[in-house]
């Protein structure tokens, strides 16, 4: 009787934790309340962990204490050491850890079952349990190895280019069929550990092969998708241990990842299938080969650029992944301050897929202490380019390529872009005239109102700022 009363308290606390998670995400809808939301969500998690320690199935605490201490130390170390430019890798790694944890919990639940005795009686474990274990193991493992590859690509350990083996997609299909085959056999015929280990191993390979062909600029989609998987894996684990809180929390994360994936795909005018299959690179190369137009560009140095800024009233800065690579966000902040001091109206225009994860640019600019009310999403600022004197593009390329608007043959045709070419003058900072990620020339560079300002983003912006101050 006493233990069931305790169990009731545990379940009510789980409900409270679920509500805290929901409010936590709700408060993330405004910058003002976001920090409080994260705190609420963390309190919910702490509550869930504390009441779980009173679960009657727990017989010893040594391994729990050791596990939590090691995990907390590593987690805190990662969270405090990770540079803001490395946030995509950090989130990628965390997705992976969540995924593998869910998979291992499912596997552990399996070993609590005396399968040998069940077999002796010609029985199977309940279908809902075996199916949940299978799904949790599958999704969790794919999340883990997929996130591992994404991390490697973002960190530069694995090439960011599209990597495909011969018959890559065929291999994937065969793998999926094998996993389903072993999984169904496990669920409905014999609850053998061999099948489960095969599902585990093949799912790890599948996650690896699915993420490998995804190119660097498509990472926002991959990271969002893996985020969704990590939630779904937690939900599946909730089905394994019959726990509503895990199902709710996992579903919230799953929904979040799906929505972000959808936003990212729309921002590139591509289907999820197209991104997952790594389609754009091949398309880009073939176009570049047979349709290469010579573009003549005009370039300016820092003094000339400074003069143009001096005579401008309104300025929009468009950051891209190049800014992150060059760690130029603080230099951009100094430029922003210098321009504001001179009475210019300075705003930032941020394309949804700029950078390597959703919101990547916003975090970098926030780190550089640039107020968030100066950052504008594409749909909120795109009509203002017409009335803007100078646009400065820092390390962005495909998201400002006008070919997306009118060149039907272009692989990025139809992708919504920032209309920087409508401004009076566009100054594009780039290291060199290399093509962007999509492998195509950017005709913007040859436009009459476009000026190239060559150099490493950080150095070039610092020089420009100094030149403006000296005027």
Partner 1 sequence: MEHSLFLLLIYVFVLAIFVGFELITKVPPTLHTPLMSGSNAISGITIVGAIISSGSGDFLFAKILGTIALVFATINVVGGYLVTDRMLKMFKKDKETKV
Residues with a catalytic annotation lie at 398
Stretch that binds partner 1, among 22-30, 174-182, 415-423, 428-436 (CB under 8 A): 22-30
Give the interface segment with partner 1, choosing from 219-227, 292-300, 317-325, 429-437 (CB under 8 A).
219-227
Residue with smaller CB distance to partner 1, 305 or 328: 328
237 binds partner 1 (CB under 8 A): yes
Q: What whole-number distance in Å separates Cα of residue 447 and Cα of residue 456?
A: 22
Q: Considering only residues 239 through 278, tell me which ones interact with partner 1, judged by CB under 8 A.
A: 239-257, 259-260, 263
Give min distance, CB of 145 to partner 1, in A. 14
Residue 115 CB-density burial (10 A; 0-12 exposed, 13-18 middle, 19+ buried): middle
Please say which residue, 252 or 338, places its beta carbon nearer to partner 1: 252
Least distance CB 225 / partner 1 (angstroms): 11
Taking CB under 8 A as the criterion, the residue among 223, 277, 349, 467 binding partner 1 is 223
- Each residue 76-95 as x (binds partner 1 by CB under 8 A) or -, in order, gives x-xxx-x-x--x--xx--xx
What character string, x for contact with partner 1 (CB under 8 A) and - otherwise, covers 346-385?
----x-x----xxxx-xx--xx-xxxxxxx-x--------
Between 278 and 352, name the residue whose CB sits nearer to partner 1: 352
Nearer to partner 1 by Cβ, of 41 and 410: the residue is 41
CB 309 within 8 A of CB 344: yes
103-142: contacts with partner 1 (CB under 8 A): 104-105, 107-109, 111-112, 126, 128
What is the rounded distance in angstroms from the CA atom of residue 45 to the CA atom of residue 54?
15
Neighbours of 94 (CB within 10 A): 19
Sole binder of partner 1 in the list 45, 158, 178, 295 (CB under 8 A): 45
Residues 171-210 within binding reach of partner 1 (CB under 8 A): none
Binding window for partner 1 (CB under 8 A); candidates: 55-63, 173-181, 269-277, 413-421? 55-63
Is there binding between residue 405 and partner 1 (CB under 8 A)? no
Considering the complex, state which of residue 81 and residue 408 has its C-beta at the smaller distance from partner 1: 81
- β-strands 314-319, 390-394: how paired? parallel
Residue 38 contacts partner 1 per CB under 8 A: yes
Told to check if 29 binds partner 1 by CB under 8 A, we report yes
Residue 417, burial from CB neighbour count under 10 angstroms (0-12, 13-18, 19+): buried
417 lies in the site for partner 1, by CB under 8 A: no
* DSSP bridge pairs for 450: 426
For residues 227 and 253, the answer to whether their CB atoms sit within 8 Å is yes
> How near is the Cβ of 38 to partner 1 at its closest, in Å?
5
Q: Which helix (H) or strand (E) holds 8?
A: helix 2-27
CB of 30 to partner 1, least distance (A): 8
**Interatomic CA distance for residues 59 and 55, integer angstroms:** 9
Q: What would the DSSP string read from start to end of 144-205? A: HHHHHHHHHHHHTSS-SS----TTHHHHHHHHHHHHHHHHHHHHHT---HHHHHHHHHHHHH
Could you give the 3-state DSSP secondary structure of residue 242?
Answer: coil
- Alpha carbon distance 351, 315 (integer Å): 17
282 vs 345, which CB is nearer to partner 1? 345
Q: How many residues bind partner 1 (CB under 8 A)?
A: 112
CA distance 267 to 416: 6
The one segment of 59-67, 158-166, 305-313, 452-460 that binds partner 1 by CB under 8 A: 59-67
Distance CA 369, CA 348 (A): 13
Helical H segments across 268-402, by residue range: 272-276, 280-290, 302-310, 321-325, 329-341, 360-367, 378-381
Question: Do 382 and 419 contact (CB within 8 A), yes or no?
Answer: yes
């Amino acid at each position: 009787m006493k233990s069931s009363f305790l169990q009731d308290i545990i379940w009510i606390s789980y409900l409270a934790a679920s509500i805290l998670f929901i409010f936590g995400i709700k408060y993330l809808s405004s910058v003002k309340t976001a920090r409080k939301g994260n705190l609420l969500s963390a309190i919910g998690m702490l509550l869930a962990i504390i009441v779980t320690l009173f679960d009657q199935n727990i017989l010893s605490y040594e391994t729990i204490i050791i596990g939590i201490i090691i995990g907390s130390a590593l987690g805190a170390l990662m969270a405090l050491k990770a540079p803001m430019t490395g946030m995509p890798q950090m989130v990628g790694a965390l997705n992976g850890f969540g995924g593998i944890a869910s998979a291992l919990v499912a596997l552990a639940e399996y070993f609590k079952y005396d399968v040998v005795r069940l077999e002796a009686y010609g029985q199977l474990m309940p279908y809902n349990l075996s199916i949940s274990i299978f799904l949790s193991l599958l999704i969790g493992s794919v999340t883990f190895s997929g996130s591992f590859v994404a991390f490697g690509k973002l960190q530069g350990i694995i090439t960011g280019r599209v990597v495909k083996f011969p018959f890559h997609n065929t291999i994937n299909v065969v793998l999926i069929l094998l996993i389903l085959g072993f999984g169904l056999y496990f669920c409905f015929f014999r609850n053998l550990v061999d099948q489960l280990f095969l599902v585990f191993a093949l799912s790890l390979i599948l996650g690896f092969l699915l993420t490998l062909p995804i190119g660097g600029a498509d990472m926002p989609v991959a990271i969002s998708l893996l985020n969704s998987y990590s939630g779904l894996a937690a939900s599946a684990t909730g089905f394994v241990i019959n726990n509503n809180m895990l199902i709710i929390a996992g579903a919230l994360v799953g929904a979040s990842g799906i929505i972000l994936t959808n936003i990212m795909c729309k921002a590139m005018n591509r289907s999820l299938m197209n991104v997952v299959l790594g389609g754009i690179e091949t398309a880009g190369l073939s176009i570049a080969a047979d349709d290469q137009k010579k573009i003549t560009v005009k370039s300016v140095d820092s003094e000339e650029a400074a003069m143009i800024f001096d005579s401008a009233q309104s300025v929009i800065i468009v950051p891209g992944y190049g800014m992150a690579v060059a760690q130029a966000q603080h230099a951009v902040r100094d430029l922003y301050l210098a321009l504001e001091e001179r009475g210019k109206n300075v705003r930032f225009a941020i394309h949804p897929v700029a950078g390597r994860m959703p919101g990547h640019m916003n975090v970098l600019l926030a780190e550089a202490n640039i107020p968030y009310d100066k950052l504008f999403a594409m749909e909120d600022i795109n009509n203002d380019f017409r009335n803007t004197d100078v646009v400065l593009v820092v390390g962005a390329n495909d998201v400002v390529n006008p070919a997306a608007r009118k060149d039907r043959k272009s692989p990025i045709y139809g992708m919504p872009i920032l209309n920087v070419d409508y401004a009076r003058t566009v100054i594009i900072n780039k290291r060199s005239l290399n093509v962007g990620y999509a492998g195509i020339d950017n005709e913007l560079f040859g436009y009459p109102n476009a000026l190239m300002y060559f150099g490493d983003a950080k150095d070039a912006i610092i020089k420009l700022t100094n030149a403006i101050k000296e005027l």
